[in-house]
Amino acid sequence: MTPGPDGGPTTSGFRYKPSGADQSSTSEHQNISRTDQSMMSGIRGGPVKMQKLLIELMVMGVIGLISGAVQRPDYDDTPNPEFLNPSWMARIPDDQPLSEVTMPGTHNTMALYGGVYAECQTWSLASQLRAGIRFLDIRVRHIKGNLTIHHGVSYQRAHFGHVLEGVADFLREYPNETVLMRLKEEFSETYDIYGAVVDYIHRYAHWDLLWHSRLVPTMREARGKLIVLQDFSGPDLGMRYGSLDIADHWRVPTLLHVEEKWQSVYKHLEAAPVGNKAQIFLTYSSGAGVFAYPRAVAQRINAQLYGYLRAKADLNQRFGIVCMDFPAAPIIQMIIDFQLKHVIKTRQAFNAVHSKAGLKYTTSSLRKKLIKHVTVNV
């Protein structure tokens, strides 16, 4: 074994622990080759058909690799967002529960390195937050008290302290915002990261930065806070990740299976507006497999997601957290717009009630004056 980037040993495979909250999510990429081998063995036509399919998939992958950076309304793998929206939560009423807020998020937020099978984003943490992202998916490898950022075997040239500093700096600059962070152990199996997490919080941020409750806060309570969605054992640091209503069917064996992935996304998005208003909904649009790396899946799923949201543009619906790979600024803004529509509708409803009350008062006053006037004249 050779020493890893954090001083620990490296290994040649993916190792994950199931959390119990959402095993399909937290065991991401575990036994991925075994899953895809099983899938491939069932292809009709035997070895010839399989070989042809593999060649087609490889060609599609190569085309994706050599096409260069892309910036579309739904998908962006360029280094910087097209535009920023760092303070959009300031317009949300203080009494609105966080479970009723629609917000954009990123899957494997810090996965910027490691090649096409590991990379899920191209923007820095600071750029993501300023673009409007409010849900972060953070994976830490735990070795001897150190918490380095990983996506599977791929070290992401950062540690948990960098994430805490980045979030703290952002919330200091924009105190009306809040940030939700799913935190889980990745590529290590200590099952005991609580102490190290607490140590990092004290060293790189401050204890009061966190929301210290399992309960869903209102926006007034959440402003300026980092809300940890705890996907590991130990005493409470915040909310439990498993308390969310989560759809994370991440396995996409080949690009031929993208439509199956989209159907899982579609069904959960359709369920969110009519679901439990006291529960946060979280929908991952991300996916990957041996023959479908994250970029290739995102290029297809993000386009479908953009079209879906665009078709719903005139509706006031709650979608909860929509978590993406390689999102573009326009689709981030489109998700934010659903939340702002909710704010506008709520204010309009309040004004309408207020106006009716005022009209009733004015009518009553006028009626009394008319009666008095008629009585005097008679």
Domain 56-339 superfamily per CATH:
Phosphatidylinositol (PI) phosphodiesterase (3.20.20.190)
Is residue 59 very low, low, confident or very high in pLDDT (cuts 50, 70, 90)? low
Task: Render pLDDT for 319-375 as a digit per residue (tens, 0 to 9).
Answer: 999 999 999 999 999 999 999 887 776 666 545 444 444 434 333 443 444 344 434
Q: Where are the domains of the chain?
A: 56-339
Task: Render pLDDT for 190-202 as a digit per residue (tens, 0 to 9).
Answer: 999 999 999 999 9
Pairing type for strands 154-159 and 146-151 reads: antiparallel
Q: Within its chain, how far is the Cα of 204 from the centroid?
A: 23
Please state the length of the chain: 378
Look up the pTM and report it. Answer: 0.80
pLDDT, the chain, mean: 84
Q: Within 13 A of 108's CA, how many CA atoms are on the CB side?
A: 31
> Residue 234: left if φ>0, alpha if ψ -120 to 50, beta else—which one?
left
Task: Render pLDDT for 61-88 as a digit per residue (tens, 0 to 9).
Answer: 555 555 689 999 999 999 999 999 999 9
Q: Which of 207, 211, 235, 312 is nearest to 270 (CA)?
A: 312
Q: Is the pLDDT of residue 23 over 60?
A: no
| 57 CB-near residues (< 8 Å, 6+ apart) | 254, 255, 291, 292
Q: Is the pLDDT of residue 257 over 70?
A: yes
